Amino acid sequence: MAAAAKRLLWVDDEIDLLRPHLLFMQGRGYHVDAASNGDDAIELVRLNGYDLVLLDEQMPGRTGMEVLDEIRRLDPRVPVVMITKSEEDRTMTEAIGRRVADYLVKPTSPRQVLSVVTRLLEGGQLQQQVTAREFTQRFREMLGDRNAVRGWRQWSETYSELVDWELRLRDAGETGLLASLETLLDDFRREFCQFVCEDYGHWTSGAADRPPLSVDVVPQYLAPLLGPDQKALFIIIDCLRLDQWRSLLPLLEPIAQVEEALYYSILPTATPFSRNAIFSGMYPDGLAERLPGWWGFEGEGSLNATEAELFREHVQRVAGRELPIHYEKIFDAGDGEQMLRRLPSHLSQPGVTALVFNFVDLLTHGRTESSVLLEVARDKEALRALTRQWFERSEAFTAIREAMARGIPVLLTTDHGSIHCHRPATVFAKRDTTANLRYKFGDDLRAEDPSLAFSTNDEKVLRFPAGRAATNYVIAREDVFFVYPTKLRQYQARYRGSFLHGGISPEEMILPVALLTPR
């Protein structure tokens, strides 16, 4: 059955002069009703459902703006295109403020009108068709390149493209193609994990060709902002995946120029290691030397208690001089409100203000413990949506707007991402083994399936300090989480489908670092 023609209402006191336009639109398959005054137009809207209204702004009797208000009352969702002879900014601003879908200035050609109507009524379908066609072509190319030899740059570029395709397919409503994309991502993730297992030890031992790592974030990306008398805002949003970051861009781009780069988190991809590495510029062995007693794995919170001190020393080394440093960690709205009260004073002084926001990490961990959070953050798409909703109303976004208003650059990044884990992997261990689900250290520790874990007994590969009792280090690959054979069913029921971090996957390791400058 053929789809019903889209219904248009064209309102203009000179409607007889627009007959060629009406016939042109009818010839393109649209049903077009016409009205020469506001009262008739309102009555037609009351009696009929329209897909779009073309409305003259200057008419005798009821003005276009008055008719617009009445149309909004009768049908708030119908798109209205305002057509006027006036090119004054005031008229355009008022129309946009009243939520018109578009704005045309007379004289208009039939093709101008068709272009606007097509974009508003058919744009989603056309976008879906184009996206599907482009993805199908690119999918075949990427499928053929699966076994290509890649360096770290190519892995970053490929993962970035896969993330963009997921967002594009979602936006276009092409959910049917997402299964093909997920299959490709599974293959990519498997090969990426193998690449990291083979090359990570070279990166940490000083290989010339290695990706920027957590230890490089401050010297490579923040240091260029630390000139004499310069001010900078440094924001870390804990546990932010690349796809979550990309979902925030539409909020940031209207107020800031955004320059994005990608870097790799060190292993394990967990806050005690990755975020400490950012703030200190040190691997765990350097931290253990700098902070005797730090190396203990008693809990993530205690292991990050010295970030402010480490960051101050790191910036001084990088800048070659002492700089004022302000550091705050924000866990909840109360912390955020207090931070915002202090922020104007901090930003008025030269130096660096560093802010750590823990909401996304708390959300990611909390969904495992809360059935409510599990329901609302069921998958990647839901997690992105929640992240965007939080960010839009967050103190982080407010702080960025404050910096942009003052002309102060912002460096925004994260310490690690997370991976949606679906597969349990059995490990055999003694009682001294650490409790983390994506990485474990302990004596006589091994994975039942070696292909699902990166295992080593050489602490130098991970740049861990020597002398610890643990002799084995096991880090999960892909989307697995570790379980013990004695608690297999308990762990499967509790953690299957959780977003976890600490392991090896592109979602956890390939991370955004973005420079925001005022528009």
Q: Helix/strand/coil (H, E, C) string of 236-278?
A: EECCCCHHHHHHHHHHHCCCEEEEEEEEECCCCCCHHHHHHHH
pLDDT at 305: 84
Torsion of CA 196, 202, 205, 207, to 10 degrees: -120
Tokens of 254: 């209207």
Residue length, the chain?
519
pLDDT in tens, 352-390: 999 999 999 988 877 766 776 777 778 899 999 999 999
**pLDDT at position 282 over 50:** yes
The mean pLDDT value for 169-183 works out to: 88
What are the angstrom distances between the C-alpha of 412 and each of 165, 401, 465, 495?
23, 13, 30, 30
Q: Residues of CATH 3.40.50.2300 domain(s) within the chain?
A: 7-108
pLDDT for residue 58: 85
Query: Taking residues 64-75, what's their average pLDDT?
Result: 89
Note the pLDDT of residue 254: 94
Q: In the chain, which segments carry CATH 3.40.720? A: 212-417+508-518
> Which percentage of the chain shows pLDDT scores above 70?
94
Whole-structure pTM value: 0.82
Give the integer Cα–Cα distance in Å for 189 and 21. Answer: 54
Q: Give percent of the chain with pLDDT exceeding 90.
A: 65
The verdict on domain 7-108 having CATH code 3.40.50.2300 is yes
Q: Give the DSSP H or E segment for 118.
A: helix 110-144
Which residue in this structure is represented by tokens 């030890």?
A: 201
| Assigned token pair, 239 | 């546990």
pLDDT band at 298 (very low <50, low <70, confident <90, very high): very low
Residue 7: pLDDT band with limits 50, 70, 90 = very high
Query: pLDDT-derived band of residue 412, with 50, 70 and 90 as boundaries?
Result: very high
Q: What is the pLDDT of residue 64?
A: 87
317 with 281: CB under 8 angstroms? yes
pLDDT in tens, 28-48: 999 999 999 999 999 999 998
Q: How far apart are CA 316 and CA 313, in angstroms?
A: 5
Q: Which CATH class is domain 212-417+508-518?
A: alpha beta
Q: How far apart are CA 160 and CA 509, in angstroms?
A: 12
Instruction: With a cut of 70, say whether residue 87 has pLDDT above it.
Output: no
Q: Which residues contact 476 (CB under 8 A, 6 or more apart)?
A: 425, 437, 438, 439, 452, 453, 482, 502, 503, 504
Question: Is residue 300 predicted with pLDDT exceeding 50?
Answer: no
pLDDT of 99 higher than 90: no
Mean model confidence pLDDT for the chain: 89
Average pLDDT of 67-85? 89
Please name the residues in contact with 318: beta carbons below 8 A apart, sequence gap of 6 or more: 218, 219, 222, 223, 226, 281
Place 463 in a pLDDT band, splitting at 50, 70 and 90: very high
Helices within 262-394 (DSSP H only): 271-280, 284-290, 300-303, 307-319, 333-347, 359-369, 371-376, 380-392
Tens digits of residue pLDDT in 467-502: 655 578 999 999 999 998 877 777 777 888 889 999
C-alpha pair distances (Å), 192 with each of 108, 152, 159, 478: 54, 9, 9, 9
